[in-house]
Amino acid sequence: MLPGLGGIAGSRNKMGGLNLRQLTLREIGMPLKHAFETSFGVTTERRIIIVEALDESGALGYGECTAMEQPLFNHESVDAAWTVIIGSICPMLSSMPPTSAAAFANSLSSIRGNRMAIAAVENAVWDLEAKLRGIPLWKHLGGVRETINTGVSIGLQKSVDVLIEKVAKEVDAGYQRIKLKIKPGHDIKLVDAVRARFGNILLSVDANSAYTLDDISVFEALDDHELLMIEQPLQPGDLIDHSKLQKKIRTSICLDESITSLRDAEQALEIDACRIINIKLGRVGGHTEAKRIQELALSKNIPVWCGGMLETGVGRAHNIAMATLEGFSLPGDISASARYWDEDIVESPVVVSPDGTINAPSGPGIGFEVRDDLIDSLCTRSESYPFSPAKAVVGS
Ligand code: OSB
Ligand code: MG
């Protein structure tokens, strides 16, 4: 018998610990309402892995894998994440079952990278644990606010006029910060036009690593536009050039892709490679590492905010919970379900108030009901991994 079942698990459960019985992965296809263009490509449909963690009591926790379809944002992809979860994460959990959500990361600490794959499972376990305790996930994580502030990320558009229309719509909807995607040749003129039309709104740009230090003239021009931040201008691994750039501009650099761990954050801050951090649950490996980065940033007075990866309601719900933590002082990329999806997989969908805020839910766990039937109807493949000597069972 493998550890995690039978006697060991039984006695652990009496002490209030977790007793994972099975993980199920379901991949769904979700067409976006509008194509989302970044400097690395255009996304028209998301392929999303939903992870379900089943406890022996029958309770279910949900996580969402934020890996993109192709390895363009980072090295991960949907297919690679699926393989890593089934082929590496599940066997490791089976041989070293976590006794709590907080202990989960330790069970997998020997895996290099692949943090979106890990986060999908870890976050399902956090949801499960909060449900077992009957408390909202945001409280379980130590959240300090019931209302979070939100902004939007607006992709590259066909023309400046179309961009202006999109910004107008989101400003009218009440979003507190507008972020524009930029890429070489589509940067200064976008910011110029939005500033000219909307004046002193809270505005930022996100380059998704599309520039080098040779583009200093672009950053100098952007520096005159009172941006809240310039997000991830240079290559993910290039902290040194980010530090050089930060010395040349007044505008805060915010790192997204570069920060995959607490260690990355420590090193970035040590050399002043950024003055703001975008924390994405997937990119850093789940709630535990996200919390560590938030704590570090708070101790150094570095503002953080919650980034997005075009998530469904499950990932959005986890983002909302994380953004209730102290230190998340800037509006996150956590917008309404309706901006992306005709029909979200949670009930009710994520809604944003006219003042650009979202209320943290009061129900147990992620606090949103997951629409199992809808997931089944959107499902393109599924696989379950029972934590027992039986091998993985391949589904539809
Ligand atoms: O860099 O923040 C990013 C979407 C996909 C990949 C990377 C990013 C984004 C976004 C969208 O900016 C944020 C959202 O989910 O609303
Ligand atoms: Mg980004």
Q: How confident is residue 395, by pLDDT bands cut at 50, 70 and 90?
A: low
* Cβ(208) – ligand 1 distance below 6 Å: yes
Q: Which CATH class is domain 139-359?
A: alpha beta
Domain map (residue ranges) of the chain: 7-135+370-395, 139-359
Q: How far is the CA of 107 from the centre of ligand 1 (A)?
A: 29
Which ligand ends up closest to the CA of 39? Answer: 1
Does pLDDT of 390 surpass 50? no
Q: Which atom in ligand 1 lies closest to the alpha carbon of residue 43?
A: 5
Q: What is the pTM of this model?
A: 0.94
Summarize pLDDT for 97-143 with one digit per residue, the tens: 888 999 998 889 999 999 999 999 999 999 999 999 999 999 999 99
Q: How far is the CA of 51 from the centre of ligand 2 (A)?
A: 24
Summarize pLDDT for 121-132 with one digit per residue, the tens: 999 999 999 999
- What distance in Å separates the CA atoms of residue 20 and residue 89, rounded to the nearest whole number? 13
CATH fold of 7-135+370-395? Enolase-like; domain 1 (3.30.390)
The region, left, alpha or beta by phi > 0 then psi within -120 to 50, assigned to residue 258 is: alpha
Rounded to an integer, the average pLDDT of 324-334 is: 97
Q: How far is the CA of 233 from the centre of ligand 2 (A)?
A: 9
